Chain A
């Protein structure tokens, strides 16, 4: 008899929906179906039963092919690599649990690693801006219950956070928002008319790369000062009109994404968006929130935060000090400048998502990649170690885009013999200790 597991947390994006219902075979081995997930979440759970799961570590051979090795061999090779390397990039973490991250950090501190997470190519710009100017924000439930003006700026939740609009930002009927969609005015600012823009009441087309100027113009308009005829392609009358409307809000919120973090200006784009939000608090209540991409990149930032004091790009390579300086300790820069001696990737695929020049540099270093599946990075690594799917085959804590922590659940057993991240990292940690004791370090 199949059974249903309720209140399942989806381990895909920062929306961290926690209302999934997964049907599971009686023997706890197969996912039969999933309800309430978006297309991407559904694919993740349904993919679990596909054949061809990697069950043993794979080691690259001289002829480019991969051969299966035992976990012990893989762990030994990895530990030796870590101990030998004076500065190892330990990147990823955004798709594993906080409990696993904690063990990884212990290893990094011992061997001199640089712990960086996916924020480095995602909301790193936002974190830099927050370090400079702070941020007035709220939890997603506040948006649901109070927000009557919502602005999506440089983000496309219809594609990247598919249930965000129905769970929090456009459609829900909350305590003070019983009219739901009809009680909210939705704006969408983007360089193209996205599927999210189609859900908005008003779409503002900004010239690609001119978001900073437009945000600055919003601030200027909010102070009642003069504007040029157009800014970023938007006529000044429209800017004044929108700002006046925003001032009438009871509770306004700005959601933003890669349209601001990736484009020219980077952190300055977010800096000024935050300052706009702060300015708006002189008139009414306003909040701003980063649309965090991965389901647990925020969690990695939290664990790094409470253990070392920084949200990402934490350089522990001196082993007696934690350092953080974007541009110096961020992964792409380290690879660009060839500053690491080994690469340790976990719960990520930089081979698919880093610019190729960084990966060319990476491919020349001894590399271990830990991932449930074969991906781009595993195929340029020396060793690929498979692990259980977190949030599906093993539980663990995750942090949503508004920093709310939710403990993900185990829904089915992992394939026979496959370790979890926690188990694997614990064994690597132990082997590192043994090697270091022998080597007298």
Chain B
């Protein structure tokens, strides 16, 4: 396998505390090594920024609701379906890219890993078919548990061991990575047209509360010692005043210590926090709750979050928070897609136009930036757009420009049609902080890798780690000063190394690499009760047979399996 020496680049690596020093990075046989021979190919990185490949910690990129979004939005391909010369396939879709475009675009941005945020277990085969067809980047998927009938019944009786055994079984059946929890209890209520808006609203029939579900899933996750923590989309998303429910939910993690062999320190990852950080009582007196929420997050070392930044685009919202989507459809009257999934979850989709002329949407934009700017520990706060909910992931460079330059974001803030209203409803105007390249590396590489339990081999440039490396045309000594220049610098890497192979060069895809599907195989003690319950539910309630439920091996030809032994 090839040897490379990346010479003279400005290296930003929080795993080693390197803050822009010029350093050579040596690559051999897919790994970063201490040194290579003289025949190694030289990559001249002088005047460039070198970081590990970025990790997307939460995006909707593969699966049934993503594809439903593609189906029902032919207009999303309008003006945005094309093929570039070279080895790439036709690329399409602005807010919901096709799988080819998803892989290429993430790679062009310097990403080498993406986590599909929500996988309904019944549809796992679909998720893996899409992951299989997505080129270059490694991927994993999080099965959803927060509205699953098994989970609701076990946690009602606080049966953490049974919960853990069932989770382990699902991870194996679906080749899943961890525990995702969306709108706990509320999405089961949605199957009757209802919802759970606070953590104490009981789920119809099952009579368990979101609080019990959240706590129980955190405990089960730690019982198993999974590489990632429980990953939570809180109740009451998107509503003014929801910051209280958010803090109530986060408080459930207090006092719980992370148990795992992967270096993970958090027990709860709270996702797209922007949507959950609103004060006020209605859209008229809507205000940013980012400070209140981040004050809490900053104090609690066992939490990680991702931002969910609004990008002010026409985009598509899609989430397992089914009742929220119905509610959103009632607000903007754009076409609504919904599917309730037996025993497991639901999903909803509604297109959304974050018009900058609208004071509420502009304030949401500010809230998202505040979340990142208030974060004291960049290793615990990651940058996302909850793609495509708050905006397409292809807008990351724009988000970086707002975070890294007060001038650029103030330009945007002051030019809003309702700027006065936005400034008075939020804190952003008074915030001077500018995220540095080093902090960015923490928020997009080292932090997400650690949060996902991958810090041994990913998210950094230490010898021994996987050679996933992004080289940007950014000279830290001459950091670009305008928004468009910052965006351009981050939009197309000079080089992307994926497992030691150059896959993108000069922004152009030159190799499809050898992507892997990551999943977690957790061993638990034999649990006859859970196996009986599974058999029973498949016989009586599911619409497919138990033997047809697992994802066949052929769907993931290259698997990266992380083994966990919780069998004591």
Contact = CB atoms under 8 A, between A and B. Distances in A.
Contact of A405 (B126, B192, B542): B126
B74 A145 contact: no
Interface string A278-318: 10010011010000000000000111011111110000100
A405 B191 contact: no
B75 to A, nearest CB: 8
B71 A139 contact: no
B337 interface: yes
A404 interface: yes
A141 B193 contact: no
B548 A306 contact: no
A323 B90 CA distance: 11
A137 B339 contact: yes
A167 B342 CA distance: 14
A219 B326 CA distance: 19
Contacts of A303: 129
Interface stretch (A69-77, A124-132, A411-419, A433-441): A124-132
B342 A6 contact: no
Given A18-B544, A322-B77, A306 B337 contact: no
Interface string B333-346: 00111111111000
A265 interface: no
Contacts of A357: none
B479 interface: no
A305 B89 contact: no
Nearest to A302: B67
A299 to B, nearest CB: 9
B156 to A, nearest CB: 15
Contacts of B381: none
B543 A281 contact: no
Interface residues of B, number: 58
Contacts of A183: none
Contacts of B261: none
A301 B122 CA distance: 19
A136 interface: yes
B133 A285 contact: no
B279 interface: no
Contact of A316 (B74, B90, B93): B90
Nearest to B134: A306
Contacts of B548: 7, 9, 18, 406-407
Given A109-B90, A305-B70, A142 B81 contact: no
A18 B545 contact: yes
B193 A309 contact: no
A319 B83 contact: yes
A140 interface: yes
Given A131-B74, A135-B338, A307-B98, A141 B93 contact: no
A174 interface: yes
A58 interface: no
B92 A135 contact: no
Interface string A125-168: 00100111111111111101110000000000000000000011
Contacts of A137: 337-340
A404 B90 contact: no
B118 interface: no
B122 A139 contact: yes
Contacts of B123: 403-405
Contacts of B70: 305-306, 309-310
A12 to B, nearest CB: 16
A397 B125 contact: yes
A193 interface: no
B349 interface: yes
B92 A308 contact: yes
A284 B193 contact: yes
Contacts of B338: 134-138, 287
A406 B90 CA distance: 27
Contacts of B99: 306-307
A309 B336 contact: no
A408 B280 CA distance: 53
B379 to A, nearest CB: 34
B90 A321 contact: yes
Contacts of B72: 130-131, 134-135
Contacts of B552: 407
Contacts of A285: 191-193
B96 interface: yes
A320 interface: yes
B125 A309 contact: no
B81 A140 contact: no
Given A7-B547, A320-B83, A311 B71 contact: yes
A287 B96 CA distance: 25
B342 A139 contact: yes
B196 to A, nearest CB: 16
A245 interface: no
A134 B342 CA distance: 20
A285 B133 CA distance: 36
A309 B98 contact: yes
A102 interface: yes
A175 interface: yes
A311 B82 CA distance: 18
Nearest to A398: B125
A14 B540 CA distance: 21
Most buried by A among B66, B81, B329: B81
A141 to B, nearest CB: 3
Given A131-B74, A309-B92, A310-B71, A405 B339 contact: no
A404 to B, nearest CB: 6
Contacts of B544: 18, 141, 404, 406
A134 B336 contact: yes
A117 to B, nearest CB: 13
A281 B125 contact: no
B98 A306 contact: yes
Nearest to A146: B191
A306 B133 contact: yes
A3 interface: no
Contacts of A7: 545, 547-548
Most buried by B among A140, A303, A322: A322
A114 interface: no
B100 interface: yes
A318 B261 CA distance: 52
A174 B541 contact: yes
B89 A321 contact: no
A302 B81 contact: no
B133 A302 contact: no
Interface in B117-152: 122-123, 125-126, 129-130, 133, 149
Interface in B317-355: 326, 329, 335-343, 349-350
B96 A309 contact: yes
Contacts of A310: 70-71, 74, 77
Interface string B82-107: 11000001101100101110000000
A98 B132 CA distance: 12
Interface in A246-299: 250-251, 278, 281, 284-285, 287
A19 interface: yes
A134 B335 contact: yes
Given A285-B193, A306-B67, A320 B82 contact: yes
A438 to B, nearest CB: 20
Given A109-B89, A307-B133, A403 B340 contact: no
B318 to A, nearest CB: 12
Nearest to A283: B193
B67 A404 contact: no
A324 interface: yes
Given A250-B192, A302-B129, A407-B125, 15 more contacts: A130-B71, A134-B72, A134-B335, A136-B338, A141-B543, A145-B541, A287-B340, A308-B81, A308-B92, A309-B70, A309-B96, A309-B98, A320-B90, A321-B82, A404-B122
14 contacts: A18-B544, A102-B133, A132-B335, A134-B335, A137-B340, A140-B342, A145-B343, A174-B540, A306-B129, A308-B98, A310-B70, A320-B83, A403-B64, A406-B125
Q: Would you list the 3 A-B pairs with minimal beta carbon distance, nearest first?
A: A141-B342, A134-B335, A141-B543
